[in-house]
């Protein structure tokens, strides 16, 4: 089992105005943002900076002048190929001159997302937007009994949305199951950005506790999916629905089976010593580097070599693999071990 810290990082990085009391309140906010936003496609030559005795602004037409937030200004600097930190140190007039001389002048259109008189984001043609409202609607329809965790130490709710991205942490407070002397409940994180700040994704899990720092303790059965905002990114809603529906199905239809599998895995010994445990793991396709680390860890703990102890330690080890592709492949092999107890 592993401890998950995604929600904890969000708890301590979000200002109060990005925190929402309920999923309905967050969803209503996201609908408002979608209704108030508009996409504009313009060739770079029609995008001009301006600083007429005031802050740096963007001209998107003869009479359309917009301000920028921190994220869209960052993207504008990338489009111009200049360092944001450098431009920030210049006067508005000098920054205007720098951007006018460095912004591209081609005809390939640039995608701008505007709200009222603010540019929210600037993208090239390959970017595809997924609205937070659409994602959260799918979540609410599939996870009807899920709600935010107890408030964190600083009052954070686990439901956040700012100018750059959205993050939600939901659990089923009535979904606890007992396995011996331990209890588990289902939960998940879901995230997205309408402006390209992060991918769209979800991570589901069964956990034993959530502390006031919103650390998720002793999580298992972890499933993660993410996708960049390119191509038909809206198709990711179908995969996210499927993942949440599978979590709900395990809670509803297979709650007893899940408990039975874990209990059997706890009791089922797979080796009497280090060599037998290594042989067992190697036989089932676990990479030798993971086999060695897992067996050494259990030996140091003085724990028996059961199916559950091996799966537990391997899950912790694979969680530290830096590359998502390698991590996913390893997690799939570990999941097959637990399936042996079914």
- Position 285 scores a pLDDT of 87
Give Cα separations from 161 to 136, 182, 253 (angstroms): 12, 34, 33
Integer Cα distance of 180 and 39 in angstroms: 55
What six digits make up the tokens of 23?
């999923």
- Position 272 scores a pLDDT of 84
- Position 13 scores a pLDDT of 96
- Position 321 scores a pLDDT of 78
- Position 181 scores a pLDDT of 58
What six digits make up the tokens of 312?
């537990």
Place of tokens 């609607």: 137
- Position 27 scores a pLDDT of 97
Cβ-in-10-Å burial (0-12, 13-18, 19+) of 75 comes to buried
Residues of the chain with pLDDT under 50: none
Integer Cα distance of 233 and 237 in angstroms: 8
Contacts of 25 (CB under 8 A, 6+ apart): 159
Cβ atoms of residues 125 and 113 within 8 Å: no
Its sign, for the CA torsion 303, 305, 307, 311, is positive
Integer Cα distance of 177 and 185 in angstroms: 6
Integer Cα distance of 171 and 45 in angstroms: 49
- Position 342 scores a pLDDT of 67
The torsion angle over the Cα atoms of residues 61, 63, 67 and 68, rounded to 10 degrees, is -10
């Amino acid at each position: 089992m592993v401890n998950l810290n995604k929600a904890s990082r969000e708890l301590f990085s979000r200002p109060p105005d990005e925190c929402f009391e309920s999923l309905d309140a967050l969803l209503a906010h996201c609908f408002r943002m979608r209704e108030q936003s508009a996409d504009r496609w313009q060739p770079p030559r029609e995008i001009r900076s301006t600083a007429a005795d005031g802050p740096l602004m963007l001209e998107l037409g003869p009479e359309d002048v917009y301000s920028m937030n921190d994220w869209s200004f960052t993207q504008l600097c990338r489009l111009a190929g200049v360092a944001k930190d450098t431009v920030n140190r210049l006067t508005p007039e000098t920054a205007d001159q720098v951007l006018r001389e460095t912004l591209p002048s081609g005809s390939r259109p640039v995608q701008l997302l505007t709200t009222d008189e603010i540019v929210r984001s600037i993208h090239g043609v390959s970017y595809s937007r997924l609205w937070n409202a659409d994602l959260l609607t799918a979540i609410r329809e599939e996870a009807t009994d899920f709600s935010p965790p107890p408030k964190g130490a600083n009052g954070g709710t686990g439901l956040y949305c700012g100018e750059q991205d959205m993050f939600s942490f939901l659990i089923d407070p009535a979904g606890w199951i007992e396995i011996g002397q331990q209890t588990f409940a289902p939960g998940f994180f879901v995230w997205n950005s309408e402006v390209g700040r992060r991918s769209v994704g979800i991570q589901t899990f069964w956990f034993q506790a959530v502390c006031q720092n919103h650390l998720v303790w002793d999580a298992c059965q972890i499933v993660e999916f993410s996708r960049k905002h390119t191509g038909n990114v809206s198709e990711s809603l179908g995969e996210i629905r499927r993942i949440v529906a599978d979590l709900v199905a395990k809670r509803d239809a297979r709650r007893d089976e899940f408990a039975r599998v874990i209990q059997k895995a706890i009791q089922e010994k797979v080796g009497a010593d280090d060599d037998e445990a290594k042989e067992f793991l190697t036989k089932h396709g676990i990479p030798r580097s993971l086999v060695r680390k897992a067996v050494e860890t259990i030996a140091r703990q003085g724990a028996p070599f059961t199916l559950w102890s091996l799966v537990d330690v391997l899950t912790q080890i694979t969680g530290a693999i830096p590359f998502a592709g390698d991590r996913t492949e390893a997690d799939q092999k570990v999941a097959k071990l637990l399936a042996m107890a079914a």
